[in-house]
Amino acid sequence: MATAVVFGLGIATMLTLVFTPSMLAVRVWFVTYVQWFAQLLAKLSMGRSSRAARDWALSRQARRMKAPEIIWDDPEAAVLAPITAEQPVQAAE
């Protein structure tokens, strides 16, 4: 009887600690691999200059950046003069 209890506890432990988490992770792995395969097919079927291939390469380069800093240069903003009011503006106008 004790052997059956120990065997049952061992099986339950394996199911709880190994089998259940791996079955939950299978869904994530499957979706990830299907997306990679679809992107690879899109890249191979349409060539390197296709939109899908360029998007894939750009996203891969963006993931590799350590600390992205975006600096927006707007040359028109420096050229425009500040707007001045000719008449004084009053409240509720």
Using one digit for the tens of pLDDT, what is the confidence trace for 38-59?
888 877 777 777 787 788 888 8
First to last CA, the chain: 91
Using one digit for the tens of pLDDT, what is the confidence trace for 61-85?
888 888 777 777 776 665 655 666 6
Rounded to two decimals, the pTM is 0.40
